[in-house]
Amino acid sequence: MDKKLKSILGLLILGLLILVMSACSSDTQKNETVSENPGVETSEPKSGGTYTILSAADPDMLDPHKQSSIYTHMMAGLVYNKLVSYETGPGVDYTDYNVVPDLAERWEISEDGKVYKFFLREAYWHDKEPVNGRQVTAEDVVATMERIINLPGHQAAILSEVESIVAEDSQTVVFTLKQPFAPFLNFMANHFMWILPKEAVDGDVDLATDAIGTGPFVLEEWEDNVQATYTKNPKYYEEGKPYLDEVIYKVVPDQGSRIAAFRTGQADAIGALSPEQLTQLQKTNPDVEIFEALFATQEQLYMNMEREPFNDIKVRKAISMAVDRQSMVDAIYGGGETSGPVNPSLGDWALPLEEREALLPYNPEEAKKLLAEAGYPNGFDTTMIVTNGYGEQLVRVAQWVAEDLRNIGINVEMEIVEYATYFSERWPNVDYDMGVGYQTYFQEPDEWLRTQLHTNGSRNWYNISDPELDKMLDEQRLILDVEERKEYVYDIQRYVLENLVNPVPLSTYYTKTPRHAYVKDSYPHASYGYGYLKDVWLDK
């Protein structure tokens, strides 16, 4: 073989070796990426095991249409399904709101946007008296929706534009709207739209203490403020799921006790932790994984506008300007951003961050000037309610706000209210001067805006009444063009931050939730309900 041929052959062999090494390196990088991402699994799911959730509080009832509490609806997601839901799984972000089939396997929308036809899949109720595992029918859906409409509250408001609901046949439901309504399909995926069996609607099930659904788990027993026990639904419509045999939902009010139980493997879920708590946990449990996401809601500082001096826009602006939001969210939550009338978890429906920061500035000196202009040069005394039912971090937020307000002369006496009283009585009955709290995980701009800020809004728990704002809120929900509606939603938010300033958005933080390494395929979503546990399995 001559030298030239040897040289060519050598180059070919070298090139082949480089290609092989490059492919191996690429495969290694891909495998490393997968292994570093706790949301993507490579092994086959295993069936069996118990998943234990520790909660700071319990709901006062299980009825998903009479109660909008996060605790009621987190538990409801184990038992119930909706017509449509939000997509979860690998590659889907926590705050993606992609509507996908649930009990309805498909749907059709008329050209004029007024008629929605849902076609039900084959699904069965839990095998409990008096429903006994029968198939879901369109009559169940009609009965459920009529029940929601006839009950007062937030859920009824979601269906306010519905003119009629008809079972076209046993597996087809037709909704006719009064007019084209932009949020409708998103509202059907809302975490308040759980479908009940007709027997429950007729009163044959005590929905305050029991639940019969089609979801991945069957409620076996609920002992109020102690524990709820769920078992695998053997007839769940997703074949092979759930993998877990049992879910335990246990009430443990003390955060330290919850962390200790998680640390020793007695609990699988305890919610988000503060930066300090997370650091300590990682020291003792270095293999723990952290799920980080932009929180689906915000802390709000709200005021009763029928009480002086909160009926004065200058006072409300002064209060907003007094709060150092960024320092607060960094210190208490370890990071986050200034929020807005539409929470930033809804992506580009929220105002851009720069605009939120400009419209919600931290300026205590200007705040003092506004108080003086309003007739309170020396400030005033007031009270503020907050609940410890969400954990200690919200109480720390209230304490931070109170201290910032003292710096401009407003002396705040804090009142810590038990959760059920706070959520069911004090806040909705506007029985307060000021308050600090988390808002519900609203899924739609219309919920963040019209629900809270319209004179007749179902969650207007602030005594707000602004005719010009009402007009804008009514108009935005009729705009079917997404980009056109988005621009109007921006204008509404600007109006709110310049002319209303109540409730005052504080911050939206990054939640950091610990997860045991043996918990696989956990894909939570920024909506209520532990329904995503249908995909979870334990690699023990």
- When mean pLDDT is compared across 87-96, 372-381, 467-476, the lowest value belongs to 87-96
- For the chain, the residue count is 540
**Exposure on the CB side of residue 259, measured as CA atoms within 13 A:** 18
| Res 291: pLDDT | 92
Per-residue pLDDT band at 31 (split at 50, 70, 90)? very low
Is residue 151 within 8 Å of 403, Cβ to Cβ?
A: no
Give strand pairing partners of 380.
410
- Which residues lie below 8 Å from residue 20, measured CB to CB, with a gap of 6+? none
For the cut 90, the answer to whether the pLDDT of residue 50 exceeds it is yes
Residues of the chain with pLDDT > 70, as a percent, come to 92
Q: Which two tokens stand for residue 251?
A: 């009430």
| Res 481: pLDDT | 92
**Exposure on the CB side of residue 318, measured as CA atoms within 13 A:** 29
Backbone angles phi, psi at 313, to 5 degrees: -60, -30
| Res 34: pLDDT | 29
SS3 content of the chain, % helix, strand, coil (to 5): 35, 20, 45
For the cut 70, the answer to whether the pLDDT of residue 46 exceeds it is yes
Nearest to 88 by CA among 97, 76, 78, 79: 97
Nearest to 517 by CA among 273, 265, 283, 242: 265
| Res 16: pLDDT | 36
Give strand pairing partners of 248.
52, 229
Is residue 47 within 8 Å of 63, Cβ to Cβ?
A: no
The larger pLDDT score, comparing residue 512 to residue 537, is at: 537
Per-residue pLDDT band at 272 (split at 50, 70, 90)? confident
| Res 119: pLDDT | 98
| Res 154: pLDDT | 77
- Which residues lie below 8 Å from residue 201, measured CB to CB, with a gap of 6+? 143, 144, 146, 147
Q: Could you tell me how many helices (H) and strands (E) the chain has, helices first?
A: 18, 20
Q: How far apart are CA 442 and CA 342, in angstroms?
A: 9
Average pLDDT taken over every residue of the chain:
91
For 306-323, write each residue's pLDDT tens digit: 999 999 999 999 999 999
For the cut 70, the answer to whether the pLDDT of residue 268 exceeds it is yes
| Res 391: pLDDT | 84
Backbone angles phi, psi at 407, to 5 degrees: -70, -15
Number of Cβ atoms within 10 Å of the Cβ of 73: 24
- How much is the average pLDDT of 232-244? 97
For the full predicted model, state whether its pTM sits above 0.85. no
Number of Cβ atoms within 10 Å of the Cβ of 479: 16
| Res 42: pLDDT | 53
Q: In a 3-state reduction of DSSP, which class is residue 410?
A: strand
Q: How far apart are CA 379 and CA 377, in angstroms?
A: 6
Show the CA angle centred on residue 522, arms to residues 36 and 186, nearest 5°.
Answer: 120
Cis check: omega of the bond before 467, within 30 degrees of 0: no
- How much is the average pLDDT of 112-139? 97
Per-residue pLDDT band at 232 (split at 50, 70, 90)? very high
The larger pLDDT score, comparing residue 354 to residue 15, is at: 354
**Exposure on the CB side of residue 470, measured as CA atoms within 13 A:** 9
For the cut 50, the answer to whether the pLDDT of residue 276 exceeds it is yes
